[in-house]
Amino acid sequence: MNEQLETIAGIFRKKGGVLRMSEALRLGISRRTLYAMLDFGIIERISRGVYRLVGLPSLESPDLVAVATRIPKGVVCLISALAFHDLTTQVPHAVDVAIQRGSEMPRVDYPPMNIYWFSGRAFTEAIETHSIDGITVKVYSPEKSLADIFKYRNKLGIEVTLEALQTWRSRSGGSVEKLLIQAKNCRVENVIRPYLEALL
């Protein structure tokens, strides 16, 4: 690898091994250089406009990394958030992502995604940041994810919703108070209360 490409590989490493095309251009890396690195097998394309250094350890969660890189203001939600928190046995076939109502629709060809438009506190509250494979990924807290799943219970299935609630309740550390606050923000407090009371 020549000196210039080694320098650029160093820039990738400082950014956790992953760069968006727009970020690379901003850092002074030309499209031509990126394509040359792709041709030489120094980097790989993990999504449209998202590149990763080859030779790094395998990604723990490639779909979440790709989504967080492509949609930095998006928040992993619903089934994907429940799976992240080990609150469901469902295997997400697409990444569920919340974006703020009024934002531009993201153009992402991979991985498959379900976009949900949230607004106000339903979007801004209880966002956790996690470092996954060196990339910052935003995920709703377990309690917020439960409130969201109750809100979308008719679309996603009451069985999934109740399984998540029971799993959450069986663990120590789950705060009923936090859950009710998030339920109120998502306007499902009256829906959740009877199910929660049945489990207490």
pLDDT tens figures, 10-42:
888 887 778 888 888 888 888 888 888 888 888
Q: How confident is the model at residue 198 (pLDDT cuts 50, 70, 90)?
A: confident
**How many whole angstroms separate alpha carbon 21 and alpha carbon 17?**
13
Rounded to two decimals, what is the model's pTM? 0.73
Contacts of 14 (CB under 8 A, 6+ apart): none
Average pLDDT over residues 42-54: 81
Tell me what pLDDT residue 63 has.
Answer: 83
Task: Sketch out the chain's domains with CATH numbers.
Answer: 3-53 (1.10.10), 62-199 (3.30.460)
| Residue 17 contacts residue 58 (beta carbons within 8 Å) | no
Tell me what pLDDT residue 21 has.
Answer: 85
| Residue 54 contacts residue 43 (beta carbons within 8 Å) | yes
